Amino acid sequence: MDVKSALKYMLFSTMAFACMNATVKHLKDVNAYQIVFFRSFGSLFFTFGFLLKNKIPIIGKHNTLLILRSVVGASSMLLFFMSVKYLSIGTAVSLRYTAPIFAAIMAVFLLRERVKPLQWLFFALSFIGVIVLKGLDAHISGKGLILVLIAAVLSGLVYVIISKIGNREHPAVIVNYFMVIATVLGGVLSINNWISPKGTEWLFLGALGVFGYLGQIYMTKAFQIASTNIVAPLKYIEVVFTATIGVMFFQEVYTLWNLLGIALIIGGLLLNVWYKSKYNT
What value does the mean pLDDT take over residues 258-271? 90
Read off the DSSP letter of residue 206.
H
Where do the domains of the chain lie?
A: 3-279
Measured distance CA(40)–CA(98) in Å, rounded: 23
* pLDDT at position 136: 64
| pLDDT of 225 higher than 90 | no
**Top mean-pLDDT range of 111-125, 181-195, 246-260:** 181-195
pLDDT in tens, 179-207: 999 999 999 999 999 888 989 999 999 99
Global pTM exceeds 0.85: yes
* pLDDT at position 279: 66
CA distances from 239 to 104, 162, 166, 259 (A): 21, 24, 28, 11
More confident residue, 279 or 56: 56
More confident residue, 274 or 200: 200
Q: Across the chain, what does the average pLDDT equal?
A: 88
- The percentage of residues in the chain with a pLDDT greater than 90, rounded to a whole number, is 45
Among 186, 166, 165, smallest CA distance to 79 is for: 186
Read off the DSSP letter of residue 277.
H
45 contacts: CB under 8 Å, gap ≥ 6: 209
More confident residue, 274 or 49: 49
* pLDDT at position 66: 93
pLDDT in tens, 138-174: 678 889 999 999 999 999 999 888 888 887 888 888 8
Residue 64's pLDDT band, with cuts at 50, 70 and 90, is very high
What value does the mean pLDDT take over residues 204-219? 89
List, as own/partner pairs, every contact residues 253-260 make where C-beta atoms lie below 8 angstroms and the sequence separation is at least 24, other chains included: 253/88, 254/88, 254/90, 254/91, 255/137, 255/139, 257/132, 257/133, 257/136, 257/137, 258/88, 258/90, 258/91, 258/133, 258/137, 258/140, 260/129, 260/132
* pLDDT at position 135: 67
| pLDDT of 281 higher than 60 | no
* pLDDT at position 138: 63
| pLDDT of 34 higher than 60 | yes
* pLDDT at position 242: 92
Q: Mutual orientation of helices 117-135 and 256-279 as an angle, nearest 10°?
A: 170
* pLDDT at position 37: 96
Residue 280's pLDDT band, with cuts at 50, 70 and 90, is low
pLDDT in tens, 67-115: 999 999 999 999 999 999 999 999 999 999 888 889 888 888 887 878 8
Measured distance CA(207)–CA(20) in Å, rounded: 8
* pLDDT at position 276: 76
Mark out the alpha helices in 85-141 (DSSP H runs): 89-96, 99-110, 117-135
